Structure 1
């Protein structure tokens, strides 16, 4: 190759490189607009825009890493899924999917339909949710057993309002926001059968007088009444 041709090729490459760099700089402008789409029941666009603002501040349209940005935005508690795309010339489009709360979890969290906890503050939790609790990581187990008990007790017209899994594995539940039932750790189905029989035979007519029901006995059902305790067998 002649020396002149080589120099021309080098100049062409440099020009293309300079042009590409100039084009990149021209396209890579600061992000000026954020667009949000999705169906929301508990959060609103103002809340989401306020939470998104710190993540896009100082970022530019082409340089921003969308995968990393998605990972960071996904940490917003009320979001279950996040999709992000670029929109010409300087906007990002966020497709956001809201968490679907199905239960309270302690004082500061809600559970989604998978039994995964998420913090609800600074928003208020929805009203009318069952109140569940258990050791860390037990959300799916407690939620699944709540669904089982709810179906099991439905024929008795009992509304299950609270369910607790204690650290040592014992269960206790509350229905109608009033009566507690100590279910214990073992023989749960047999104990529920005894509750079923006692409820149909007598207890349903005296629910307003019951403090708690203890099923942790080999035979019979212990009932603590307001003012006294007796055994119903």
Structure 2
């Protein structure tokens, strides 16, 4: 028994003294397999790029959400004329810029959808007034041509006139006047800003007001207060009021056709 144990111990000692050997590939083989791996990756990459380039053009869908039939048709006609690449390579920002180039469009979202293709969702500008006879203007004072010409015939809108660059100023002035004259049951129907910065305002009750660019806001506000107090009983008799004076104004009357000057 002791001999057996001694022999096993000797064998273990021999194995411990015996040098370990690692199987290593020759250097040439290493280079071969490395090159093979790189080659396969490049092949996959090239095939992927080729597949993307040869893929059929992506389908563009224009959402009807938030658009009238005329607006949807106008946007659809514009987008279908645009060259597009595949589903993955089409430049979405470029399509968005094209859609935003339409004057009546306010916001645009362009997304990819696996089932439908490239989806374009747009929101139109919301008109609050006419600007001249062929354009509209939104609450921010942005002037635009609508997609549907029928919008130009809306009777609910007031009409603004002046230089396009002055549209935000005219819009702001109209909104302010409407606020001041709302207690009198009056709203602006037409407002004009001339090149000489003279304001011409016509209310929905037929009263016309003209005012220059000197203390314009104060003059219009003071008039609203007078019409609501001292002159309230004669409001329906007035045809026009001229505020282009430093210390007063004149009133033209409907029936008599005469003018009355009123001083501060």
Give your verdict on TM over 0.5: yes
Give the match for residue 218 of structure 1: 246
Give the match for residue 67 of structure 2: 40
Deviates more, 1:92-101 or 1:220-229: 220-229
Q: Secondary structure at the match of 1:124?
A: helix
Offset from partner CA, 1:78-97 (integer Å, 9 cap, x none): 21010101222672111211
Distance 2:60 2:215 in 1: 59
The equivalent position to 1:123 in structure 2, one of 123, 135, 149, is: 149
Aligned: 1:87 with 2:113: yes
Distance 1:191 1:33 in 2: 52
Q: 1:4 to 1:198 in 2, by over 3 A?
A: closer
The structure that is strand-richer by fraction is 1
Tell me the CA shift for residue 7 of structure 1: 4.2
| Pairs aligned (count) | 228
Q: Secondary structure at the match of 2:160?
A: strand
Distance 1:181 1:68 in 2: 48
Matches within 5 A, 1:179-218: 179-188=207-216, 189-190=218-219, 192-194=221-223, 196-197=225-226, 200-201=231-232, 203-207=234-238, 210=239, 212-218=240-246
Q: Secondary structure at the match of 1:138?
A: helix
TM-score (norm 2): 0.74
Matches within 5 A, 1:134-173: 134-173=162-201
Distance 1:225 1:193 in 2: 20
Unaligned runs of 5+ in 2: 1-26
Q: 1:30 to 1:89 in 2, by over 3 A?
A: farther
Q: Work out which structure has the larger RCO, using CA pairs closer than 8 Å and 6 or more positions apart in sequence.
A: 1
Please provide the CA RMSD for this pair: 2.7
The structure that is helix-richer by fraction is 2
Aligned: 1:230 with 2:254: no
Tell me the CA shift for residue 198 of structure 1: 5.3
Q: 1:86 to 1:215 in 2, by over 3 A?
A: same
The equivalent position to 1:30 in structure 2, one of 54, 57, 66, is: 57
Unaligned runs of 5+ in 1: none
Distance 1:138 1:42 in 2: 32
TM-score (norm 1): 0.83
The equivalent position to 1:114 in structure 2, one of 135, 140, 149, is: 140
Which structure has the bigger radius of gyration?
A: 2
